[in-house]
């Protein structure tokens, strides 16, 4: 299983997972400044540890396809399945771990915050016909630009 984490139409992180004879393992590839994806020494949190295996011969093809799909979204995870001889599109995931996964989006120095520019989201790029949507989009844009915050009611 290959999970392509995309932000702004670019595949920034790839998580590879597999189960074999009751053991689970994984790999993480991250996009470097040169645009190439390099294997890290970390394992995904959803598996038992890192497994040794060369990159898939289809990795560049999967990245190209994920990039084409991702160009329509500010963030989407594009998943593929592979048996080593071919690969298939698996699913598109808008909310990783049902939205429960904490990427540290409140932290301006976290990797996800730096990668995921909400200014490119539908909410902030589409015209809105209702007053509540316009007001919320304006407040969110102001908060993202450092001119205010959205914390909800103050007690």
**Tens digit of pLDDT for each residue in 48-102?**
888 888 888 999 999 999 999 998 888 899 999 998 899 999 999 987 766 655 5
Res 6: pLDDT: 93
What's the pLDDT band for 22 if we cut at 50, 70, 90?
confident
Question: Sheet harboring 37-39: ordered strands across?
Answer: 37-39, 23-31, 10-20, 2-7, 75-82, 87-93
pTM for the model stands at 0.76
- Are the CB atoms for 28 and 4 separated by under 8 Å? no
Q: Is the backbone of residue 125 left (phi > 0), alpha (psi -120 to 50) or beta? A: alpha
């Amino acid at each position: 299983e290959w999970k392509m984490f995309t932000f702004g139409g670019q595949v920034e992180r790839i998580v590879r997972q597999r189960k074999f004879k009751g053991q689970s393992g994984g790999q993480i590839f991250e996009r470097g400044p040169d645009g190439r994806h390099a294997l890290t020494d970390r394992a995904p949190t959803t598996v038992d540890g890192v497994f040794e295996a060369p990159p898939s011969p289809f990795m560049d093809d999967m990245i190209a396809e994920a990039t084409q799909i991702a160009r329509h979204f500010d963030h989407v995870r594009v998943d593929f399945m592979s048996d080593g001889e071919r690969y298939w599109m698996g699913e598109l995931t808008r909310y990783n771990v049902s939205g429960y996964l904490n990427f540290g989006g409140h932290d301006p120095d976290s990797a996800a915050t730096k990668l995921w520019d909400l200014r490119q989201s539908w909410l902030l790029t589409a015209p809105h016909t209702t007053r509540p949507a316009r007001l919320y989009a304006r407040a969110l844009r102001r908060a993202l630009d450092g001119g205010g915050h959205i914390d909800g009611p103050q007690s």
